[in-house]
Amino acid sequence: MSRSLALGFTLFTLILIAILVKLGFWQLSRADEKADILSQHAVLQKTIETRLSADAPVSGQPYALTGRFDLRHAFLLDNQTLKGRVGYQLYLPFVSGDHTLLVDAGWVAAPALRSELPPLPDLSVVETVEGIAAEPTRTLVLDADSFSGTWPWRVQAIEPELVRQQTGLTVLPWVLHATSLGSSEGDGNLMEQNGLTATWQPVVMRPEKHHVYAVQWFALAVAIAVMWGVWWRRRSS
């Protein structure tokens, strides 16, 4: 191998190692971010809000509300999987005091045929909702023209403003991910009894997973450096 090719290969190797090291440190920074979120979440769990207000809460704030679901307007958030099964997140307006809030009532399995929608549970007896406050999904925006005029409405994202346009309801600009639904009869958690599954988590990937990825990137950088060193030594000899 000529000297220019050897220097070019060395430069390429150094750049690759630098990229891998940078990826490793990026994973470590992500782990720190997730650890901060979990720490903040643990602190928030010590205080439970019982009333809604127009002020946006801190994401992760727990609530325990009394009120009623508006069962006329059900939204099925599409493309939600649970343990390999395809389904929907059921969102319903919940009226508590002077405010209305969209509540993620839980995950429901999708029928085998795409043209069919799942049967919705009767949550008319629900009077209490416990859950965690969060920002609505904004990866996509609801297409107002996609509404067929019948409920439930299958949607690709939750956008409070377009919900207001289609229902006439003024909903707060955040959502509540339910962890428990109850009634005055004390019948236990009505989520489980109605086939609904709470799926919300404060972080999708825990810090430990990021640490594993960081170690993998650093190990790959070391392996490439070792292989380059072996190659350089053989070339020199």
Q: How many residues does the chain have?
A: 237
Place 174 in a pLDDT band, splitting at 50, 70 and 90. Answer: confident
Cα–Cα distance, 40 to 60 (Å, whole number): 8
With bands split at pLDDT 50, 70 and 90, how would you rate the model's confidence at 220? very high
pLDDT tier at 141, thresholds 50, 70, 90: very low
Q: Which pLDDT belongs to residue 137? A: 66
pLDDT band at 145 (very low <50, low <70, confident <90, very high): very low
205-215 tens-digit pLDDT: 778 888 999 99
- The answer on pLDDT for 140 being more than 60 is no
- Under a CB-based contact definition with an 8 Å cutoff, are residues 198 and 179 in contact? yes
Q: Is the pLDDT of residue 226 over 70?
A: yes
Dmax over CA atoms of the chain, in Å, equals 85
Tokens (6 digits) for 54 = 């127009």
Q: Which of 82, 75, 130 lies closest to 107, judged by CA? A: 82
> Where do the domains of the chain lie?
3-40+207-236, 61-193
Question: Does residue 175 sit in helix, strand or coil?
Answer: strand
| Closest C-alpha to 161, from 170, 149, 151, 152 | 170
Answer whether the bond into residue 57 is a cis peptide, omega within 30°: no
Q: Strand, helix or coil at 235? A: helix
CB count in 10 Å sphere of residue 232: 14
More confident residue, 156 or 188: 156
**Under 8 Å CB-to-CB from 105, ≥6 apart: which residues?**
69, 90, 91, 92, 123, 178, 181, 191, 196
Mean pLDDT of the chain: 84
